Structure 1
Amino acid sequence: MSEFTPTYVPSRRPARVVECQELTDGVVRLALRDSYIARHAKPAQFVNLYTKNAQRLSPRPFGVCEVDGDVFTLMFAVVGKGTEEFRHLRPGDTVDVLGPLGHGFNLREDADYLLVGGGLGVPPLIRAAQELSGHEGSTSTVLFGYRNVHFADAYASRYATQLQSIDESEGNVITLLDRWASQHGVAADADGALRPAAQGRRTVILTCGPLGMMKAVSAWAREHGLTVQASLEARMGCGFGTCVVCTVHTTRGILKTCVDGPVFDTAQLEGWEAAR
């Protein structure tokens, strides 16, 4: 399933802070300098960040958002003491990192990709849009849903072929998917399969965000005969398969989100069959 199977990851090491800014209340964009991560991080892979408090043993995993030279960026919500510490990092500070970890999206196929994200599920999709911007045979349409502030649009629009976003006052990502289908003259035929685009490329959905949102996206895709790659969010104790905290039930048995994912084809995920 994955485009990238990690065979080597350098040990935990300090990375220097390049920038730390608050995009909106409680949402932070953090840029770090680490040439290995910047060179090797594939869309939907993540990195572990470690706090300087020795009593907080577990790292915090964050999906890589963008890469530029030897710098990579993260985007995260401040939800506890660990992320509160990272919020106050300043240029020149260092923070211990480990990565890149996990399996990323499979982007090998020339296709029309729909990147459907909600809330703080958007960073891996921004990285996917960045990667796809270099693929001559593919397009990327970003569909983002927010609670209120559209904090990631400016970053995704750097790379996406098209971008549409919505907040709770207007609807949700299913609203955007229906709108996209209508705008492109796309509809399910009699047997439920989505009519292919004029150029003959397949449409593939990549999604990341709240579980309920991703299940709804998967159901929408199933109704239209599309495949979905979902980057799952899970509580992780280690991030590299040792603690067995982040298990997920699949058609292949119980797997670990951190090493077997975080990206899974939703057809493999148990309990995702219910319609929206």
Structure 2
Amino acid sequence: MENNYKSYKLKKREKMARGIYKLTLEGRENARPGQFYMLRAWQDYPLLSRPLSLHDCKEEEFSFLYQERGKGSKILTSLKENDEIKVLGPLGHGFEIGNYKKVAMVSGAVGLAPFLYLAKELKKRKIKVDFYAGFQEESYALEDFKPLVEKIYISSDKGLEGFHGNVVELLKSKKIEDYEQIYSCGPNPMLYSLLKLVDPKKTQVSLEAHMACGFGACLGCNIETRSGEKRVCQHGPVFSGGDIIA
């Protein structure tokens, strides 16, 4: 599968918050909001590439927002302008956009990554969007969302900004029944809590999973759903909330 990787030059690396970075690559890609790519900027070690959701996609550049965690992401963070990054994708099943009038996007931590590109597509279709963004500490990467959404509601686990608590607790005080669809992405426990609060059939969730290949061959990201066993990389990462066993 190595031959299917494409090489791009790093245009810019930005630090968005403590441990949170944005990589912008030079080039053109054609992907749907919610799809992901496998990235690598090394030869043999680490063995596995890093799966990252597409953050934004423009005419001549595309970007990824991620949290530095392990060896691979630390290598990505160490890259400099014009360094080469190999990417495989777009992969997986992205967000479905219906004929809605008003929707909500709900993110936890770096789960806001796929929502900038989604917000742009929703704006093009004149769909009104409220964005509920949850953070552990202070917010980041929200400036680009302001011209795209109606309102931004912020929660902070540590009470540093906005609502003191997690984003699901914030939603309990809102009229969530007014939304025709809820798009969500974040830590899986947060998503499972969300599905117990809202109508799962009106919700799309982007799940996190450990991935080795990114295209369904290794069976490393299998999950049990209401319609049987599925692979997060191939059938997801975006699933209908009604199919998820919370």
Same fold judged by TM-score > 0.5?
A: yes
Name 2:165's counterpart in structure 1. 171
Secondary structure of the residue aligned to 1:128 is helix
Aligned to 2:76: 86
* Structure 2 Cα separation of the partners of residues 114 and 233 of structure 1: 20
After TM superposition, the structure 1 = structure 2 runs for residues 182-197 of structure 1, keeping only pairs within 5 Å, are 194=177
Question: 1:216 and 2:193 equivalent?
Answer: yes
Q: Which residue of 109, 120, 135 maps to 2:125?
A: 135
Q: How many residues align?
A: 239
SS in 1 for 2:34: coil
Whole-angstrom CA distance in 1 between matches of 2:197 and 2:15 = 34
Which entry has the higher C-alpha Rg, 1 or 2? Answer: 1
Would you say 1:29 and 2:6 are equivalent positions? no
- The Cα RMSD (Å) is 1.7
| Structure-1 residue corresponding to 2:244 | 269
Q: Map 1:116-135 onto structure 2 (within 5 A).
A: 116-135=106-125
- Matched letter for residue 70 of structure 2: G
Normalising by the residue count of structure 2, what TM-score does the alignment of the two structures yield? 0.92
Query: Secondary structure in 2 aligned to 1:254?
Result: strand
Deviation at 1:55, TM superposition (A): 2.7
1:251 deviates by 1.7
How far apart, in 1, do the equivalents of 2:172 and 2:226 lie?
A: 29
| Alignment counterpart, residue 13 of structure 1, candidates 6, 18, 30 | 6
Given that 1:18 and 1:91 are in contact with CA atoms closer than 8 Å, whether structure 2 keeps it comes out as yes
Shift of 1:139: 1.0
Say whether the 8 Å CA contact 1:153–1:165 is kept in structure 2. no
Give the secondary-structure state (helix, strand or coil) at the position aligned to 1:235: coil
Q: Would the aligned equivalents of 1:65 and 1:123 in 2 still touch at CA under 8 Å? A: yes
2:100 pairs, out of 82, 92, 110, with 110
After TM superposition, which residue ranges in structure 1, 4 or more long, deviate above 3 angstroms? none
Letter matched to residue 212 of structure 1: P
1:157 alignment counterpart: 146
Q: Percent identity?
A: 27
- Which segments of 5 or more consecutive residues in structure 2 lack a partner in the other structure? none
Q: CA deviation at 1:226?
A: 6.0
Match of 1:253 among 211, 223, 228: 228
Give yes or no for contact 1:118–1:146 (8 Å, CA) kept in 2.
yes
Quote the offset at 1:178 in angstroms. Answer: 2.8
* Match of residue 48, structure 1, among 32, 38, 41: 38
Query: In the aligned structure 2, how far is the partner of 1:166 from the partner of 1:143?
Result: 8
Give unmatched runs, 5+ long, in structure 1: 1-9, 187-193
Letter in 2 for 1:92: N
Q: Report the Cα offset of residue 215 of structure 1.
A: 1.1
Q: CA deviation at 1:125?
A: 1.8
Contact 1:78 1:84 in 2 (8 A): yes
When normalised by structure 1's length, the TM-score is: 0.82
CA distance in 2, matches of 1:132, 1:219: 25
Deviation at 1:234, TM superposition (A): 0.4
SS in structure 2 at match of 1:179: coil
